Amino acid sequence: MALQQGGALSTADPAHKRGIQFLLNTQLEDGSWHVKSRAIPFQPYFESGFPHGNDQWISVAASNWATMALAPAAR
């Protein structure tokens, strides 16, 4: 995403297209991307309503980044 935003990688570039395809292939049915948390669980669990249980906060961030990467490809 940084390369595309900085103008170093065109959305027509094969590497960009492979990245977009990877994101589309790994997106889950609910529209999110699941990322396993590696954080040491020192805070009490808080349910936000986002899927993936204990992994929900890192998955929110991952889904946000994936969506931002996909947005230019939709134009």
What residue ranges do the domains of the chain occupy? Answer: 1-71
> In angstroms, what CA-CA distances link 2 with 26, 57, 73?
20, 22, 14
Three-state secondary-structure class, residue 65: helix
Return the pLDDT at 74: 79
Provide the whole-model pTM.
0.85
Contact 70, 23 (CB under 8 A): yes
User: pLDDT tens string for the chain (75 positions)?
Assistant: 788 888 898 888 999 899 999 999 999 999 999 999 999 989 899 999 999 999 999 999 999 999 999 998 777
Contact 50, 32 (CB under 8 A): yes
Helix (H) / strand (E) element for 70: namely helix 56-70
Return the pLDDT at 1: 78
